Amino acid sequence: MIYLSLFIFCLSLGTFFPFASETYLSTLFLSEKYNNFILLIFASLGNILGSLISWIFGYFINYFMNKSWFPVNKYLLQKATSIFKKYGKWSLLLSWVPFIGDPIAFAAGTFRYNVLFFLIFVSIGKVARYLFIYIYFLIY
């Protein structure tokens, strides 16, 4: 059950909710009640899927933009779009960074960036972040 809650938590944070999932994951690592490798997998998959949802929203921007419930900060979207224009696929490695990562994923969708390459670069960035935390707790 905890793995599912971690997945859902990381999925929601992988979209437009600015909170660090590392805190929850670190707490679970410290509890030593769960398999850390499985925690790493569920956190990564949830967060990657959350970014994919942001990409989908970006892909269908014209449909979503005028909806009252759509949580897009126009300033962050402009900033993320300029970062994506400047650095392209490499900016997706920063999709884990709070506040700017989700808009970068969204911007990639607006540019209709190839979803397979999107998933590869986002996965590298997000898994590397969680792997760093995982290794930290293995060492200490």
The pLDDT, as a whole number, for residue 90 is 93
The pLDDT, as a whole number, for residue 106 is 87
In this prediction, the residues of the chain whose per-residue pLDDT falls under 50 are: none
The pLDDT, as a whole number, for residue 130 is 92
Report field, pTM of the whole predicted structure over 0.75: yes
The pLDDT, as a whole number, for residue 13 is 76
Contact 80, 94 (CB under 8 A): no
The pLDDT, as a whole number, for residue 74 is 72
The pLDDT, as a whole number, for residue 118 is 97
pLDDT digits (tens, 9 = 90+) for 68-104: 777 666 777 777 778 888 888 999 998 888 778 888 8
